[in-house]
Amino acid sequence: MIHLASNDGFTQLVEHQTLQRPLHRASTELRIITLTSDIVYRIVRNAQIHTALQEHLMYILNLQAHNIANLLLIERSEHNRLIDTIEELRANRLLQQFHHLHARLLVVDAGAESNTHYASDFTRTYPCSGKFTTKQREIYDIVESANEHAYSLTKPGTTYWDVHYATARHLLEGLKALDLVRGDVDEMLPLGISGLFMPHGLGHNMGMDVHDMEDLGENYVGYAEDQKRHPLLGLGNLRMARRLEPGHVVTDEPGLYFIPALIEQWKREGTDKGFVNYEKLAGYYDFGGIRLEDDVLVTADGARRLGSERLPITSADIETIMAEE
């Protein structure tokens, strides 16, 4: 993943006392993050791709082993770290050159950073053809539902670990409905079966730098003294597990991925404990993955998404905006 954010010298600027102070952000800082959110909205909404990355994008899209392209949409100049140049090249014009990618998915993970280092981070997934296949829509709708579920649970007093765990359960329920996993979801959840499909955490702290203060040590920043990382893949990859407080800014970014090498490893080693339907899963080896990400501010009575407008996210809305281009 390519990010605009830079952490040069950050560790030297933060003294040990930082660990002792609350992790919330002031209202001025939140306004800066909202500004960067709005900038990314305007760019990603039109699927505009910086021309300097066109050649790199072509290379990525032609990799047969990977279906996910993470694209940097903003160039930072030496005089203005926020925005200097945005050169437009509409994604649909570029994708017309790749007829063989008609059924592929494009994941756009984009962020902007202000000259005070406060950042935003968003992800959307687009069907290269402009229309989701039935299989793509089924998986996409599970992820979109998980994104909404996580958001509904985000509130003061709740640990983000609990939100992460509940979201993993939600994803497994969706996969079970498609017969990709079988059995009792409550039994497979603590065994880490969700990690085969989402081998990362639900989200991370946002603020100064894309992953706020993680140069100090991810476990120090993301985990309280009474919390320890889960040992299993996926469940143990959460970057922010702390109890949420008003003012916290976190990302909400569930995803589902079908990684042939990992699937084969689990099958060979019996990691799935019999819960995975490998016969059905074989039809997803060329699928790639889907991730949907928003930036969320914890408020006194719940949460709200940052940005004056939300990027289109439902499968129907994605197809609509692609048809307009």
CA distance 44 to 154: 25
Residue 137 token pair: 């829509």
The mean of the pLDDT values for the chain is: 78
Residue 191 confidence (pLDDT)? 98
Q: What is the pLDDT of residues 71-110, one digit of tens each?
A: 333 333 443 443 333 333 344 444 454 444 567 898 988 8
- Predicted pLDDT at 295: 95
Mean pLDDT value of segment 110-132:
86
| Predicted pLDDT of residue 224 | 95
Contact (CB, 8 A) for 122 and 40: yes
Q: Give residue 140's pLDDT.
A: 98
pLDDT for the residue numbered 63:
42
Q: Specify which of 99-103, 128-132, 303-307 reaches the highest per-range mean pLDDT.
A: 303-307
Q: What is the number of other CB atoms lying within 10 angstroms of the CB of residue 76?
A: 18
298-301: list long-range contacts, CB under 8 Å, 24+ apart: 298/154, 298/155, 298/156, 298/244, 298/245, 298/246, 298/247, 298/248, 298/249, 298/250, 299/156, 299/246, 300/156, 300/246, 301/155, 301/156
pLDDT-based confidence at residue 321 (cuts at 50, 70, 90): confident
pLDDT at 37 (0 to 100): 64
Band (pLDDT 50/70/90 cuts) for residue 228 is very high
Residue 16 is predicted with a pLDDT of: 36
Q: State pLDDT tens for residues 45-62.
A: 554 343 334 444 444 444
Least confident among 81-85, 213-217, 232-236: 81-85
Instruction: Say yes or no to pLDDT of 133 above 90.
Output: yes
Would you state the structure tokens that stand for residue 145, as one six-digit string? 């539902």
**Which letter, b or e, does each residue of 97-111 get, where b requires 16 or more Cβ atoms within 10 Å of its Cβ?**
eeeeeebbbbbbbbb
43 has pLDDT over 90: no
- Per the model's pLDDT, the better-predicted residue between 112 and 56 turns out to be 112
pLDDT score, position 128: 84
Q: What's the CA gap between 76 and 10, in Å, rounded?
A: 18
Average pLDDT of the segment spanning 226-244: 96
Indicate the pLDDT class of residue 270, thresholds 50, 70 and 90: very high
For residue 84, what pLDDT is reported?
A: 38
Query: Could you give the CA distance from residue 165 to residue 170 in angstroms, rounded to a whole number?
Result: 9
Task: State yes or no: pLDDT of 187 exceeds 60.
Answer: yes
Residue 55: its pLDDT value, please? 44
- Do the beta carbons of residue 70 and residue 106 sit within 8 Å? no
- Predicted TM-score of the model (pTM): 0.76
Task: Compute the distance between CA of residue 159 and CA of residue 201 in angstroms, rounded to an integer.
Answer: 13
Predicted local confidence at residue 211, as pLDDT:
79
Closest CA to 221 of 199, 200, 252, 249: 249
Determine the average pLDDT of the residues in 183-195: 98
**Bridge partners for 106 per DSSP:** 126
Inter-residue long-range contacts of 210-215, CB under 8 Å, 24+ positions, other chains counted: 210/3, 210/4, 210/5, 210/111, 210/113, 210/119, 210/121, 211/239, 212/23, 212/249, 213/14, 213/18, 213/23, 214/239, 215/7, 215/10, 215/11, 215/14
How far is the CA of 226 from the CAs of 110, 159, 234, 243, 268, in angstroms? 33, 12, 20, 11, 36
| pLDDT reading at 316 higher than 90 | yes
What domains can you pick out in the chain, each with its CATH number? 10-324 (3.90.230.10)
Position 110 scores a pLDDT of 84
- Determine phi and psi for 161, rounding to 5 degrees: -60, -45
pLDDT at 77: 40
